Copies of this chain bind each other. A is one copy, B any other.
């Protein structure tokens, strides 16, 4: 049974597996991500995700290893952890030939119920939308879309010759950025980031040498903070996955305190999805889904009438095939 293993392993190149973790939390309605400040250097890029190599001699599973790296680099013990994706074409073919080690990276998503002190190794909790300004529609369509992204994407479409090639680009852009019939689809975070990367609208494109020369320096000031290596791509994957997952698994409660008001819950969902929801319908949704149960307590923190406090109803997991916050996806409006 070992035959295949041995046979195919002969001429192996050295491969390294990096494990990277996206830690998500919230404070004051701001969705946050844990970043670590790079050591000083001549780099433009100052931030990275917690990460480290997978060493199976030390940690039996990759998840164990992720937990270890995160603990070492941030002091945090993770609860909810989920594998995201494995990135095998890091730096898009711009591999440093001096370095015989070719890194593959496996991204993980972890949810943290509240932000922790920022300390070890210069870790900070950064507003997710500082990295993806075009993803936050809670105050209407982000200006950057019409000002910078849309015109540049349109130019990119025109730049190619050939009817089919142009059509293909147009379709990709339309679907990813919602210039099509159905409008903005919050979950397509990765598709959007990939397009911006490809069209040279994020700083990483330059650094990876994809784009020959900065056309307008100012663009990169407004298209979000660039990260080390492909970490922003991993983050985009994480945001997309989280946005879709809250709809069919009760993961949102990993981000909530033990008890909470329905409006607090709504604000968290809105912060993640980047969209505003209809308040009355949201509470009906949550209640009829059986996701929560009342406590006898009320919150004093609200301005007006005190809000009842709820807690997560764990039993819902055995009652429905895919319990989650199934709010509608009919585009973004400013409500209430």
Tell yes or no: A133 within 8 A of B by CB. Answer: no
Whole-angstrom distance from the CB of A246 to the nearest CB of chain B?
15
Contact A16 B9 (CB under 8 A): yes
| Stretch from A179-187, A194-202, A250-258 forming part of the interface with B | A179-187
Contact A85 B83 (CB under 8 A): yes
Chain A, interface residues (CB within 8 Å), range = 35 or more
Contact B15 A182 (CB under 8 A): no
Q: Which residues of B contact A63 (CB under 8 A)?
A: 88
What number of copies of this chain does the assembly contain?
2
Contact A39 B9 (CB under 8 A): no
Q: Which residues of B contact A18 (CB under 8 A)?
A: 8
Contact A321 B182 (CB under 8 A): yes
Contact B85 A317 (CB under 8 A): no
- Give a binary string over A153-193; 1 marks a CB under 8 Å from any B CB, 0 the rest: 00000000000000000010011000011100101000000
Q: Which residues of B contact A171 (CB under 8 A)?
A: 317-318
Whole-angstrom distance from the CB of A275 to the nearest CB of chain B?
12
Q: Which residues of B contact A2 (CB under 8 A)?
A: 96, 99
Tell yes or no: A333 within 8 A of B by CB. Answer: no
Q: Which residues of B contact A9 (CB under 8 A)?
A: 16, 53, 101
Tell yes or no: A304 within 8 A of B by CB. Answer: no
- Give a binary string over A50-94; 1 marks a CB under 8 Å from any B CB, 0 the rest: 011111110011110000000000000000000101101100010
Complex alpha-carbon distance, A43 and B11, angstroms: 25
